[in-house]
């Protein structure tokens, strides 16, 4: 008997809905990735000078291009002579717009600032070593000085720059190395703490604990995975941070170590669950064979069970790192968030997710800072992508390797 028409139609509709949900999900992932890169990549080949401003020098000054980092040093008065930046031997004189009042009277400038462009032009023309940081709108066509171009932000400078002052004036500093290192630092610490502990728990649960103990432990560990990260942050702030402060006798307890400890606790459920599952795949016959040869239970675990499930354990560790790298809230709360190069675990650090979360709200859309944060997001995405691909590779190799 052929199926009635409405039944066929119904099945078709269901199939369509299922297919649609699948494609919508994949599309969403794709869109997020495209969005991330599209927003971020505009950063490169943009001038690091604050928008709407220019740097102007006397026209006798041979310099026409200048590095963003040097601009900062000049305005911080760390560099005081043009010789250092490749110019003539002449001391640098800084000029901000406010300084105009000390040279010209209000009457000279004019009630509605109508003479301001001319005044600026005259100042720049009269002082040889001047560098003026002034709004672009005051540079008219008859400007007697020279506008210098800062070197645009390059990917190399972005990745390897050691200073992150995205809103600094006159020139933003977009070096993400401290943030990148901060992220890796905290994650590395987390995995060093959580892997031994997680593995120990996994071994205990898979090989030693009896069914009753396991039935108590398992839900508790799963509960650990369900605690919101802001609660972990609370816990870290109230318990771990003061503890670190007193134990190591530090001025502040908000350090990379605090972040690592919190992340280690957060990564534990992932590591334990995956490692335990993989330890359990060791065939019973193999364990029996080992025991039957007079090996003790512990010898069987470290000579047979762990080598057999090593790829699963590796996957657990890598996924644990993945969890740690992407975590935002708890880390933001306990690491102190200083974007400086980390030298030890007892210093404040700042991670990529924490940077994005803390700064995105304050950065104007499509501005330099905004785009830099999106690049940071893209880098984070690439890191987790690499992690996931590694896990995929390890587990596929595992399937082929065993009978």
Partner 1 sequence: MAKIETLDANLFYGDFHALKNISMQMEENTVTALIGPSGCGKSTYLRLFNRMNDLIDSTRITGQILVDGEDIYRKNINVDELRIKVGMVFQKPNPFPKSIFENVAYGLRVNGEKNKSYIEDKVVQSLKQSALWNEVSDKLTKSAFELSGGQQQRLCIARALAISPSVILMDEPASALDPLSTAKIEELIHELKKEYTIVIVTHNMQQASRVSDYTAFFYLGELVEYGQTVEIFTKPKLKHTENYITGRFG
Tokens found for residue 293 = 């040869």
Tell whether residue 286 is a contact of partner 1 (CB under 8 A).
Answer: yes
Tell whether residue 403 is a contact of partner 1 (CB under 8 A).
Answer: yes
Tell whether residue 44 is a contact of partner 1 (CB under 8 A).
Answer: no
- β-strand pairing of 53-57 with 93-96: unpaired
- Residue 219 or 307 with smaller CB distance to partner 1: 307
SS3 content of the chain, % helix, strand, coil (to 5): 65, 10, 25
Pick the piece of the chain touching partner 1 (CB under 8 A) from 181-189, 194-202, 292-300, 375-383. 292-300
d(CA 369, CA 371): 5
Q: Which residues pair with 135 in a beta bridge?
A: 53
Give the DSSP per-residue string, 75-120: HTTS--BGGGGTS-S-B-EEEEGGGHHHHS-HHHH-TTSTTHHHHH
- Residue 66 or 301 with smaller CB distance to partner 1: 301
Q: How many CB atoms lie within 10 A of CB 133?
A: 21
Helix (H, G, I), strand (E, B) or coil at 255: coil
Tell whether residue 296 is a contact of partner 1 (CB under 8 A).
Answer: yes
Tell whether residue 136 is a contact of partner 1 (CB under 8 A).
Answer: no
Footprint on residues 337-396 left by partner 1 (CB under 8 A) = none
Q: Pick the binder of partner 1 from 38, 140, 303, 343 (CB under 8 A).
A: 303
Q: Pick the binder of partner 1 from 288, 362, 366, 392 (CB under 8 A).
A: 288
- Residue 24 or 216 with smaller CB distance to partner 1: 216
- Residue 365 or 403 with smaller CB distance to partner 1: 403
Q: Report, in Å, the least distance between residue 304 CB and partner 1.
A: 6
H or E segment and range at residue 144? none
Tell whether residue 59 is a contact of partner 1 (CB under 8 A).
Answer: no
Spell out, one character per residue from 202 to 241, where the chain touches partner 1: x when CB under 8 A holds, - when not: --------xx------------------------------
Give the DSSP per-residue string, 297-339: HHHHIIIIIHHHTHHHHHHHHHHHHHHHHH--HHHHHHSB---
- Size, binding site for partner 1 by CB under 8 A: 22
Given the rule CB under 8 A, which residues bind partner 1? 210-211, 283, 285-296, 299, 303-304, 307-308, 402-403
């Amino acid at each position: 008997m052929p199926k009635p028409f409405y039944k066929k139609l119904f099945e078709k509709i269901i199939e369509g809905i299922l297919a649609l949900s699948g494609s919508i999900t994949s599309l969403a992932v794709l869109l997020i990735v495209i969005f991330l890169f599209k927003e971020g990549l505009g950063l490169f080949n943009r001038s690091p000078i604050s928008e709407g401003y220019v740097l102007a020098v006397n026209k006798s000054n041979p310099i026409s291009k200048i590095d963003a980092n040097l601009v900062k040093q000049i305005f911080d008065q760390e560099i005081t002579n043009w010789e250092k930046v490749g110019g003539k031997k002449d001391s640098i004189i800084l000029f901000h717009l406010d300084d105009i009042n000390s040279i010209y009277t209000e009457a000279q400038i004019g009630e509605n600032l109508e003479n301001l462009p001319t005044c600026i032009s005259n100042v720049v023309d009269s002082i040889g070593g001047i560098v003026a940081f002034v709004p672009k709108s005051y540079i008219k066509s008859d400007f007697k000085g020279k506008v210098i171009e800062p070197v645009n932000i390059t990917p190399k400078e972005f990745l390897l720059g050691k200073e992150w002052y995205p809103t600094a004036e006159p020139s933003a500093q977009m070096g993400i190395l401290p943030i990148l290192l901060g992220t890796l630092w905290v994650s590395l610490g987390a995995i060093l703490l959580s892997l031994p502990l997680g593995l120990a728990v996994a071994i205990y649960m898979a090989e030693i604990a009896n069914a009753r103990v396991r039935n108590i432990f398992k839900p508790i560990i799963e509960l650990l995975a369900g605690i919101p990260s802001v609660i972990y942050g609370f816990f870290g702030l109230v318990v771990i941070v003061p503890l670190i402060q007193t134990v190591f006798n530090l001025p502040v307890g908000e350090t990379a170590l605090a972040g690592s400890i919190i992340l280690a606790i957060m990564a534990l459920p992932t590591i334990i669950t995956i490692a335990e599952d993989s330890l359990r795949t060791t065939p019973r016959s193999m364990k029996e064979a080992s025991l039957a040869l007079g090996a003790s239970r512990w010898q069987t675990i470290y000579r047979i069970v762990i080598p057999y499930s090593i790829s699963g354990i590796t996957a657990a560790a890598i996924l644990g790192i993945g969890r740690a790298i992407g975590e935002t809230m708890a880390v933001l709360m306990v690491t102190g968030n200083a974007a400086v190069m980390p030298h030890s675990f007892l210093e404040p650090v700042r991670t990529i997710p924490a940077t994005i979360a803390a700064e995105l709200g304050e950065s104007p859309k499509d501005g330099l800072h905004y785009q830099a944060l999106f690049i940071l997001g893209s880098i984070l995405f690439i890191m987790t992508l690499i992690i996931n691909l590694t896990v995929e590779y390890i587990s596929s190799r595992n399937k082929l390797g065993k009978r």
